[in-house]
Amino acid sequence: MRVQALDLELIPIKRSRQTLASILSVAFPIILLHDIRPGSTHPILLPPTPPATVTESRGFTSDEKSAIGTPSCNIDNPGTEGSRMYPLPPPSNPNNNKVQQEDLKTPDKHIVRDPRLIRLTGVHPFNVEPPLSDLYNEGFLTSKDLHYVRNHGYVPKVEDDEVMDWEFTVEGMVENPIKMSVASLVKDYEQVTYPVTLVCAGNRRKEQNVVRKTKGFSWGAAGLSTALWTGVLIRNVLTRAMPQRGARYVCFEGADKLPNGCYGTSIKLNWCMDPNRGVMIAHGMNGEPLPPDHGKPVRIIIPGQIGGRSMKWLTRIILTEAPSDNWYHIYDNRVLPTTVDPEQSANLPDVWKDERYAIYDLNTNSAPAYPAHGERLDLNNGLECYNLRGYAYSGGGKRITRVEITLDKGKTWNLANITYSEDEYRLAPEGEQLYGGRLDVSWRESCFCWCFWNLEIPVAALQTADDFMVRAMDEGMMVQPRDMYWSVLGMMNNPWFRVVIHKEAHGLRFEHPTQPTLSSFGWMERVKKTGDNLTNGYWGEKVSREEQDEVKAMPDEEISIINQVIHRNITIDELRKHEGKLEPWFLVNGQVYDGTKFLEGHPGGAASIFGAAGQDVTEEFMAIHSENAKAMMSDYHIGSLDKASKGIVASGEPVVPAKDAPPRATFLEAKSWSRAILSTKMRVSHDTKIITFTLEHPDQVIGLPVGQHLMMRLLDPVSRDTIIRSYTPISEVTEKGKLHVLVKVYYDTPECKGGRMTQALDSISVGHWVDFKGPMGKFVYLGRGLCSVSGVERRVKRFIMVCAGTGITPIFQVFRAVMRDSGDNTFCLVLDGNRVEEDILCKKEMDDMVLGQEHRCRLLYVLTKPGPDWKGLKGRMGKELFEREVEPRRPPKEGEHGEMVLICGPEAMQKSVHESFLGMGWKGEDLLFF
Q: Where are the alpha helices (DSSP H) in 406-537?
A: 422-426, 459-464, 523-529
Nearest to 199 by CA among 424, 331, 367: 367
Residue 689: partners with Cβ closer than 8 Å, 6 or more residues away: 681, 682, 683, 742, 743, 745, 762
From CA 241, how far away is CA 777, in angstroms rounded?
A: 55
pLDDT of residue 31: 28
Nearest to 198 by CA among 93, 281, 301, 50: 301
Average pLDDT, the chain: 83
H-run or E-run covering 541: none
How far apart are the C-alpha atoms of 62 and 53, rounded to whole Å?
Answer: 13
Query: What sign has the CA pseudo-torsion 440, 446, 450, 456?
Result: positive
Radius of gyration for the alpha carbons in the chain, expressed in angstroms and rounded: 33
Instruction: Please state the φ and ψ torsions of residue 280, each to the nearest 5 degrees.
Output: -125, 145
Q: For residue 611, which phi and psi values (nearest 5 degrees)?
A: -65, -25
**pLDDT of amino acid 616:** 75
pLDDT tens string 822-856 = 899 999 999 999 999 988 989 899 999 988 888 89
CA distance 368 to 674: 46
Name the nearest CA neighbour of 490 among 814, 208, 801: 208
pTM: 0.61
Query: Is the pLDDT assigned to residue 35 strictly greater than 70?
Result: no
Instruction: Specify the higher pLDDT residue, 724 or 367.
Output: 367
Higher pLDDT, 347 or 610: 347
| Predicted confidence (pLDDT) at residue 302 exceeds the cutoff of 70 | yes
Of 237 and 258, more confident:
237
Active site positions, annotated = 200, 332-333
Highest mean pLDDT among 380-384, 392-396, 543-547: 392-396
> Phi and psi at residue 623, in whole multiples of 5°?
-80, -30
For residue 491, which phi and psi values (nearest 5 degrees)?
A: -110, 160
More confident residue, 554 or 146: 146
Domains of the chain by residue range:
365-526, 527-558, 569-650, 674-776, 779-929
pLDDT in tens, 673-697: 888 888 899 988 888 899 999 998 9
Residue 793 has pLDDT above 70, yes or no: yes
CATH superfamily membership of 569-650: Cytochrome b5-like heme/steroid binding domain (3.10.120.10)
DSSP lists the bridge partners of residue 264 as 253
CATH 2.60.40.650 fits 365-526, yes or no: yes
Q: CATH for 779-929? A: 3.40.50.80
pLDDT of residue 59: 35
**Architecture of the 674-776 domain:** Beta Barrel (2.40)
Distance CA 853, CA 442 (A): 83
Give the pLDDT confidence score for residue 460 in this predicted structure: 95
pLDDT at 719: 63
Beta-strand pair 288-289/280-285: antiparallel
Model pLDDT, residue 693: 94
Laid out side by side, the sheet with 738-744 consists of 722-727, 709-715, 769-776, 674-685, 688-694, 738-744
Q: Read off the pLDDT of residues 499-523 as tens digits, 9 standing for 90 and up.
A: 999 999 889 999 999 998 766 789 9
**What average pLDDT does range 62-84 have in this prediction?**
34
Q: How much is the pLDDT for 601?
A: 58
Residue 201 parent element (H or E):
none
Does residue 245 surpass a pLDDT of 90?
yes
- Residue 569 reports pLDDT greater than 60: yes
Report in angstroms the alpha-carbon separations of 839 from 634, 744, 805, 806: 45, 9, 7, 9
CA angle 566, 567, 571 (to 5 degrees): 115
Average pLDDT over residues 39-68: 33
Pairing of strands 44-45, 32-33: antiparallel
Strands, sheet with 569-570, edge to edge from the N-terminal-most edge strand: 569-570, 637-641, 591-594, 585-588
Q: Of the given ranges (2-6, 291-295, 739-743, 866-870), which has the lowest mean pLDDT?
A: 2-6
Task: Using the predicted structure, report yes or no on whether residue 544 has a pLDDT greater than 60.
Answer: no
Highest mean pLDDT among 14-28, 155-169, 599-613, 828-842: 155-169
State residue 629's pLDDT score. 66
Contact partners, residue 880, CB within 8 Å, separation at least 6: none
Q: Is the pLDDT of residue 484 over 90?
A: yes
Confidence (pLDDT) at 418: 97
Confidence of residue 62 (pLDDT cuts 50, 70, 90): very low
* Residue-level pLDDT at 607: 46
Taking alpha carbons only, the member of 577, 647, 576 closest to residue 616 is 576
Helix-helix angle 843-850:808-820, to 10 degrees: 20
> 624 falls in which pLDDT band (50, 70, 90)?
very low
Residue type present at position 520 = S
